[in-house]
């Protein structure tokens, strides 16, 4: 373990907390399977107590991905109380290598204003609940939330108690992205120096950094240099607020600069990085910025003449790593109308999707329909189609028909027909200040949803006039608890307005499924068709 850094991926827990990044069960399973192929050591599959859906997702991942002999540890987050810990254990216990990850804040800001706990109460609670978790599971991780702003001397006491109670990993979170690299590295070094029980019992120190000041990766690497041997990260750096430490940045920093990082490395298969990035981006509806390190489309692009000249002479002049080393490739398998189900299944498997027969049949039907509109279907087209297919699972309403009339000097009008959960057809029409607005207004009228469009993004998946339009939408909806929540939807189609209708409906469906308010239950219902 001296030269290995464990990779703890929290894309499915902390990453999913990005506004609008809600994932359904099939999407979580696909991502978890891909994370296992990537070679992560630990998957934080969710927050089991958060909802029945979260519990089911963690359980299914434990039963599926967690059964591989050399597969990852499966863990669930739990607050430092028995109810949470019991729920987490219930979700992960089916895995070959289960872990309970429990946390309690240690900064005075959190203790006084959020938890209303004294320092002594905090220490007592950590000792009791870590011991309780250890009584259920041999692998227990403890996190002192907001460690970056905690009094170091008090933090040492808490961590010593956690080790004595049976914690096998101590995670040190910079929860609000407050620390600077030298400061965070010194915090990790101070913990190792002042809590001797960590070394004596072989406890692993983990680092978990947020990117509020753009320092998450720098802080994580500083913590590793100071002695941490586990890094908590997400794919594409997604997460609450400004996000988490990016897996690809930490992994490739260690691989690219082995001399500087003293030979430290991970067991990540770097050639799977881009594939994983694309899958997570498609399923969370969070685009990767073009200039994002490692996985952005411009990461290995060269436009300046001086750069191009240097690259032609020797790639090392302007590239410190080869694009192939992280999974970028200029080749694509070209599929067309003469391609069969086996060819499609094989390509999807290469892209990280292993579909059950029923879902493969649906994908094949959509693939064939696309082939009638496009001569060639590229990998990007397949990625968009499959993400769209997974988005449409567990729908409250399904899109049956859409028609939009618009033009210069005319008020746009949309007519939409939906199918509800009972199989009833519902139809209505609505005006708008533009065709997209008309479609959204019409869907709101039929579903009775109080949805407000926040963001609308459309881009062509591939080049050419016949390219698929990939539409990503975010809406704000009010739930029964009067709180406002953001839900995302996405869809892909050669018709931009059809893709828009599907994406908007997908976002509304998520809101309705999560308890968002819906008026006019019978709105637009067609009694006889």
The CATH number given to whatever domain includes residue 478 is 3.30.160.270
Structural domain contains residue 528: no
Q: Are 403 and 384 within one domain?
A: no
Question: What total of structural domains would you count in the chain?
Answer: 4
Per-residue pLDDT, 145: 97
Alpha-carbon gap, residue 253 to 272, rounded angstroms? 16
Query: Do 383 and 405 belong together in one domain?
Result: no
Same domain, residue pair 406 and 435:
yes
Could you report how far apart the first and last alpha carbons of the chain are, in Å?
A: 67
Strands 6-9 and 230-233: parallel
290 within a domain of the structure (yes/no)? no
pLDDT digits (tens, 9 = 90+) for 333-358: 457 777 778 878 877 877 777 788 88
pLDDT for 525 equals 38
Lowest mean pLDDT among 70-84, 107-121, 305-319, 460-474: 305-319
What CATH number is given to the structural domain containing 43?
3.20.20.70
Give per-residue pLDDT as tens, 355-409: 888 888 888 888 888 887 776 677 777 877 777 777 666 678 999 999 999 988 8
pLDDT of residue 339: 75
Helices (H), 7-74: 25-38, 52-64
Same domain, 367 and 275: no
Reported as a single tens digit per residue, the pLDDT across 480-518 is 767 788 888 888 888 889 999 999 998 898 888 777 665
State the Rg of the chain over Cα.
Answer: 25
Whether 27 and 175 map to the same domain: the answer is yes
Q: What is the mean pLDDT of residues 46-55?
A: 94
- At residue 308, the pLDDT reads 47
- pLDDT score of 528: 29
Confidence of residue 79 (pLDDT cuts 50, 70, 90): very high
Query: What value does the mean pLDDT take over residues 525-529?
Result: 32
Identify the pLDDT of residue 382: 80
Residues 367 and 411 occupy one common structural domain: no
- The Cα 194–Cα 211 span in angstroms is 27
* 366 and 483 co-located in one domain: no
Query: What whole-number distance in Å separates Cα of residue 63 and Cα of residue 156?
Result: 37
Answer whether residue 295 is part of any domain.
no
User: Does residue 184 belong to any structural domain of this protein?
Assistant: yes
- Strand duo 484-493 + 469-478: pairing: antiparallel
Residue of higher predicted confidence among 480 and 163? 163
Residue 407 to residue 498: CA distance in whole angstroms = 17
Number of H helices, E strands in the chain: 17, 14
Q: What is the pLDDT of residue 521?
A: 42
pLDDT winner (highest mean) among 210-224, 420-434, 508-522? 210-224
| pLDDT class of 264 with cuts at 50, 70, 90 | very high
pLDDT, residue 310, reads 58
SS3 for 457?
strand
User: Which range among 116-125, 298-307, 312-321 has the greatest average pLDDT?
Assistant: 116-125
- Write out the residue range of the structural domain in which residue 425 sits: 398-513
| pTM for this predicted structure | 0.75
The CA distance from 87 to 54, in Å, is: 11
Domain contains 268: yes
Q: Of 129, 144, 149, give the one whose Cα is nearest residue 207.
A: 144
159, 203: one domain: yes
Pairing, β 230-233 against β 42-46: unpaired
* pLDDT tens figures, 234-246: 999 999 999 999 9
Q: Do 236 and 378 sit in the same domain of this protein?
A: no
Task: Compute the residue count for the chain.
Answer: 529
Strand 140-145 to 169-174 pairing: parallel
272 lies in some domain: yes
Beta bridge partners of 232: 8, 208
Looking at the fold, whether 384 and 406 belong to one and the same domain comes out as no
Assess if residue 521 is contained within a domain: no
CB 295 within 8 A of CB 274: yes
Residue 96 in domain: yes
Same domain, 380 and 276: no
Q: Any idea which of 93-107, 148-162, 174-188, 435-449 has the lowest mean pLDDT?
A: 435-449
Strand pairing report for 413-419 and 425-431: antiparallel
Percent of the chain residues past pLDDT 90, beyond the cut? 60
Average pLDDT over residues 140-153: 97
Do 481 and 357 share a domain, yes or no? no
């Amino acid at each position: 373990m001296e030269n290995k850094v464990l990779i703890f991926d929290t894309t499915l827990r902390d990453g999913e907390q990005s506004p609008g990044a809600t994932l359904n069960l099939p999407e979580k399973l696909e991502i978890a399977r891909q994370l296992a192929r990537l070679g992560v050591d630990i998957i934080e599959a969710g927050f089991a107590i958060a909802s029945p859906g979260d519990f089911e997702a963690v359980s299914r991942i434990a039963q599926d991905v967690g059964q591989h002999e050399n597969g990852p540890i499966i863990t669930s987050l739990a607050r430092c109380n028995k109810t949470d810990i019991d729920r987490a254990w219930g979700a992960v216990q089916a895995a070959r290598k289960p872990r309970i990850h429990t946390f309690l804040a240690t900064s005075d800001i959190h203790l006084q204003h959020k938890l209303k706990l004294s320092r002594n109460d905090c220490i007592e609670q950590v000792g009791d609940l870590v011991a309780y978790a250890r009584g259920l599971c041999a692998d227990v991780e403890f996190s002192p939330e907001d460690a970056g702003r905690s009094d170091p001397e008090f933090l040492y006491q808490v961590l010593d108690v956690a080790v004595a109670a049976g914690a096998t990993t101590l995670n040190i979170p910079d929860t609000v992205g407050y620390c600077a690299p030298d400061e965070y590295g010194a915090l990790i070094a101070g913990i190792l120096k002042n809590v001797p029980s960590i070394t004596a019992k072989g406890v692993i120190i983990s680092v978990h950094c947020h990117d509020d000041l753009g320092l998450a990766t720098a802080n994580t690497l500083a913590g590793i240099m100071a002695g941490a041997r586990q890094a908590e990260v997400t794919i594409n750096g997604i997460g609450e607020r400004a996000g988490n430490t990016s897996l690809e940045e930490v992994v490739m920093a260690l691989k690219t600069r082995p001399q500087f990082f003293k030979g430290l490395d991970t067991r990540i298969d770097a050639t799977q990085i881009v594939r994983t990035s694309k899958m997570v981006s498609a399923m969370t509806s969070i685009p990767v910025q073009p200039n994002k390190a490692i996985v952005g489309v411009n990461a290995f692009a060269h436009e300046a003449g001086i750069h191009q000249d240097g690259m032609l002479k020797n790639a090392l002049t302007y590239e410190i790593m080869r694009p192939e080393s992280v999974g970028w490739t200029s080749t694509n398998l070209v599929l067309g109308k003469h391609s069969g189900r086996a060819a499609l299944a094989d390509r999807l498997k290469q892209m990280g999707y292993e579909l059950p027969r029923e879902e493969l049949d649906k994908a094949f039907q959509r693939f064939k329909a696309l082939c009638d509109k496009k001569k060639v279907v590229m990998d990007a087209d397949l990625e968009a189609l499959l993400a769209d297919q997974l988005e449409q699972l567990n729908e409250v309403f399904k899109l049956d028909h859409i028609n939009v009339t618009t033009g210069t000097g005319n008020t746009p009008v949309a007519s939409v027909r939906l199918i509800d959960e009972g199989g009833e057809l519902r139809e209505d029409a609505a005006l708008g200040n533009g065709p997209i607005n008309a479609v959204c207004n019409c869907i709101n009228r039929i579903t009775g949803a109080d949805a407000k469009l926040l963001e609308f993004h459309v881009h062509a998946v591939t080049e050419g006039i016949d390219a698929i339009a990939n539409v990503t939408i975010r809406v704000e909806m009010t739930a029964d608890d009067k709180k406002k929540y953001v839900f995302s939807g996405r869809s892909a189609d050669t018709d931009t307005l059809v893709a828009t209708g599907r994406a908007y409906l997908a976002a509304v469906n998520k809101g309705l499924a999560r308890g968002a308010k819906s008026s006019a239950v019978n709105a637009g219902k067609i009694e006889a068709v």
